[in-house]
């Protein structure tokens, strides 16, 4: 007992607590304002190192109020009679208060002093915050780098003080070395064995003899990675030669043909049912003949007697214009009820590096099986428009950016001798937000809406499962209006490997159908779980364990996927 008491007293003597913090000499800022920026407070344990850091914080707040030559030091430390409490006395010499009076630029020829001062965005007669001065210099440097001066150098040469109308002001002299003006007269590409150099040059959207632009050069790896045919794209290197400036672009080709296989298992909902094994096979060839042409073949089985097959071909940069033409065919066998068959032709106009406008023409046919009275034979023709805005840094495993896509289709559906108008709306927004190091939030919001005076079973949207609402069977839900969200928190292990937890939510509305004796209905569902995506020697492996609303531990849905590159 006595030993414990002695140890406690010894700890208290060696680590006294602060009784009070006192400031001497301050008038511009109150004791309360200064104490607020300190970590050490009355009642906390005294720490010399933390007090030193707090003095720097006090210096910073004085700088923000224009007292650039203030001085703060420890005046004294007063211990109580028992050495268990300590009074801290800090001496403050505030000095004079300064505002910004004049900024002088030296050596600039391309831009005037007024232009540079506007770019810096710092104003006279205001307090000068050092961080804002640094940001302003960076903005001037970026201005030069965007307009052909990649070797420009900027530095603060002198800061002096002077008095004007009884007020103290600062004069800042900024030296600028603009160096030479550079145009891109040559582009050298290396590392491409199969991909045509012409494909790479058209994607980076740089023309010869144009001024060097650092922002556009920095986007080259992003633009090339969006092709999804390179395993690595190095940062472009600027070089000078007798012909002027040039860029060296190094790439490493990846395997551009992928086999994407997904197996899903949904356990039985009762003892009278059997579990359902679903499957997805997607074969993608993304660089046919080294020209970035694409061919995709897709097969899906989501129920025992239902399957879907699709085929898509994309011809990029038709006649060397930033226009992609594509054709798509899709057929779905829905149990023994009907066959839905459709094709689509579309043209995507790449207006900028991030913005695309698409125009499409589509036709759909629904062919009911024999002796099915509640599904009508129909044909529908649609025309539509779609816009996309994509700033993702990588399309396979993005860590920042947004992908926005919305579409509108207008058409007519013909059943026997009658026809009706149809409208379709779609919206998809995906956000990728970096949080801490190697951690990313992925948030997706999606919606579909069908409007028509007559909506049949084959017209409804299907959702649920791996790519929409996890925790449920593939295409488990039907609706003329569906909305779902996907929220993931990802822990990155490599560029294409990450573990994640997720929460999905979904809403669907199904209209009444007198033929099938179905009343209108709407419902909200949610799913949650965890998963991992790993880059392995046999391909990119994905594994999800998902639970739907009310599921027990043994009722989780397992989705196993393999993306094998060959």
Output the domain CATH number for residue 8.
Answer: 3.10.20.310
Instruction: Please check the confidence at residue 475 and state whether its pLDDT lies above 90.
Output: no
Indicate if 348 and 418 belong to the same structural domain.
yes
Burial of 432 (0-12, 13-18, 19+ CB in 10 A): buried
Q: From CA 146, how far away is CA 244, in angstroms rounded? A: 17
Pick the last residue of a domain from 234, 253, 272. 253
Query: 30, 92 in Cβ contact below 8 A?
Result: no
pLDDT tens profile 238-273: 999 888 899 999 999 887 887 777 776 666 766 666
Instruction: Please check the confidence at residue 395 and state whether its pLDDT lies above 90.
Output: no
Q: From CA 425, how far away is CA 263, in angstroms rounded? A: 31
The residue-averaged pLDDT of 99-110 equals 91
Burial of 221 (0-12, 13-18, 19+ CB in 10 A): buried
116-130, 189-203, 303-317, range with the lowest pLDDT: 116-130
More confident residue, 52 or 515: 52
Share of the chain above pLDDT 90, in %: 55
Instruction: Please check the confidence at residue 396 and state whether its pLDDT lies above 50.
Output: yes
Residue 242 structural domain: 184-253
Indicate if 535 and 457 belong to the same structural domain.
yes
pLDDT score recorded for residue 81: 64
The residue-averaged pLDDT of 69-97 equals 86
Q: From CA 109, how far away is CA 168, in angstroms rounded? A: 31
Q: Domain of 288: which CATH number?
A: 2.40.160.50
Indicate if 192 and 309 belong to the same structural domain.
no
pLDDT score recorded for residue 26: 92
pLDDT score recorded for residue 314: 95
Indicate if 518 and 436 belong to the same structural domain.
yes
Pick the last residue of a domain from 93, 112, 136. 93
Coil, strand or helix: which one is 424? strand
Q: From CA 375, how far away is CA 371, in angstroms rounded? A: 10
Domain count across the chain = 4
Share of the chain above pLDDT 70, in %: 92
Indicate if 246 and 171 belong to the same structural domain.
no
Q: pTM (2 decimals)?
A: 0.77
Coil, strand or helix: which one is 494? strand
Burial 445-483 (b: 16+ CB within 10 A, else e): bbbbbbebeebbbbbbbbbbbbebbbbbbbbbbbbbbbb
Residue 455 gets which letter from DSSP? -
What token pair was written down for 347?
């043209």
The residue-averaged pLDDT of 97-121 equals 90
Indicate if 304 and 331 belong to the same structural domain.
yes
The radius of gyration of the chain from alpha carbons, rounded to an integer in Å, stands at 33
Nearest CA to 150 out of 104, 182, 125 is that of 182
Pick the last residue of a domain from 75, 93, 111. 93
Indicate if 412 and 501 belong to the same structural domain.
yes
More confident residue, 281 or 423: 423
The pLDDT-based confidence of 9 (bands split at 50, 70, 90) is very low
DSSP string, 35-75: HHT-S--TTSBP-HHHHHHHHHHHHHHHHHTT-TT-EEEEE
pLDDT score recorded for residue 154: 94
pLDDT score recorded for residue 11: 41
Indicate if 243 and 262 belong to the same structural domain.
no
Indicate if 456 and 331 belong to the same structural domain.
yes
What token pair was written down for 429?
């927004």
What token pair was written down for 418?
């009658």
Q: From CA 565, how far away is CA 396, in angstroms rounded? A: 14
pLDDT score recorded for residue 344: 96
The pLDDT-based confidence of 158 (bands split at 50, 70, 90) is very high
Indicate if 368 and 226 belong to the same structural domain.
no
Distance of CA 294 to the CA centre of its chain: 25
pLDDT score recorded for residue 77: 86
Indicate if 113 and 231 belong to the same structural domain.
no
The pLDDT-based confidence of 522 (bands split at 50, 70, 90) is confident
Indicate if 82 and 191 belong to the same structural domain.
no
pLDDT score recorded for residue 120: 87
């Amino acid at each position: 007992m006595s030993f414990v008491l002695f140890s406690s007293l010894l700890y208290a003597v060696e680590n006294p607590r602060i009784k009070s913090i006192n400031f001497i000499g301050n008038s511009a800022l109150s004791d309360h304002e200064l104490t607020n920026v300190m970590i050490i407070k009355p009642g906390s344990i005294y720490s010399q190192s933390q007090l030193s850091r707090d003095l720097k914080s006090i210096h910073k707040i004085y700088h923000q109020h224009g007292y650039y030559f203030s001085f703060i030091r420890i005046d004294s430390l007063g211990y109580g009679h028992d050495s268990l409490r300590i009074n801290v006395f800090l001496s403050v010499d505030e000095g004079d208060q300064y505002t910004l009076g004049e900024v002088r630029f030296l050596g600039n020829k391309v831009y005037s002093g007024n232009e540079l001062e506007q770019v810096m965005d710092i104003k006279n007669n205001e307090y000068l915050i050092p961080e804002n001065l640094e940001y302003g210099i960076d903005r001037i440097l970026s201005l030069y780098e965007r307009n052909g001066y990649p070797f420009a150098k900027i530095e603060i040469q002198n800061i002096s003080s002077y008095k004007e109308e009884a007020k103290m002001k600062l004069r800042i002299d900024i030296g600028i070395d603009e160096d030479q003006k550079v145009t891109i007269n040559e582009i050298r590409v290396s590392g491409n064995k199969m991909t045509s150099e012409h494909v790479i040059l058209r994607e980076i959207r740089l023309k010869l003899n144009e001024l060097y632009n650092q922002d556009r050069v920095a986007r080259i790896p992003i633009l090339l990675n969006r092709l999804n045919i390179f395993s690595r794209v190095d940062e472009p290197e600027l070089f000078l030669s007798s012909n002027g400036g040039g860029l060296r672009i190094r790439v490493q080709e990846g395997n551009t043909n992928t086999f994407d296989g997904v197996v899903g298992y949904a356990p039985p909902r009762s003892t009278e049912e059997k579990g359902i094994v679903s499957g997805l096979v997607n074969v993608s060839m993304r660089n046919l003949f080294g020209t970035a042409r694409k061919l995709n073949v897709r097969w899906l089985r989501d129920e025992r007697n239902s399957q879907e097959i699709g085929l898509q071909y994309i011809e990029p940069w038709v006649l060397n214009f930033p226009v992609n033409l594509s054709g798509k065919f899709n057929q779905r066998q829905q149990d023994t009820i009907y066959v839905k068959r459709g094709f689509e032709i579309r043209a995507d106009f790449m207006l900028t590096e991030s913005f695309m406008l698409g125009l499409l023409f589509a036709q759909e046919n629904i062919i009911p099986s024999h002796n099915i009275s509640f599904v009508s034979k129909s044909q529908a023709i649609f025309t539509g428009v779609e816009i996309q805005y994509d700033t993702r840094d990588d399309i396979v495993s993005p860590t920042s950016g947004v992908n926005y896509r919305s579409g509108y289709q207008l058409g007519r559906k013909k059943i026997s001798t009658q026809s009706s108008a149809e409208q379709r709306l779609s919206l998809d927004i995906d956000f990728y937000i970096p949080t801490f190091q190697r951690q990313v939030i992925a948030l997706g919001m999606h919606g579909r809406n069908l409007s028509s005076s007559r909506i049949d079973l084959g017209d409804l949207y299907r959702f649920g499962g791996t790519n929409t609402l996890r925790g449920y069977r593939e295409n488990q839900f039907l609706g003329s209006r569906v909305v779902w969200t996907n929220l993931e928190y990802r822990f990155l292990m490599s560029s294409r490997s990450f573990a994640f937890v997720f929460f999905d939510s979904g809403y669907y509305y199904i209209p009444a159908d007198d033929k099938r004796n179905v009343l209108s209905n709407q419902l909200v569902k949610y799913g949650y779980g965890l998963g991992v995506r790993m880059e392995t020697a046999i391909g990119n492996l994905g594994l999800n364990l998902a639970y739907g609303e009310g599921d027990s531990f043994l009722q989780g849905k397992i989705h196993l996927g393999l993306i094998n590159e060959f």
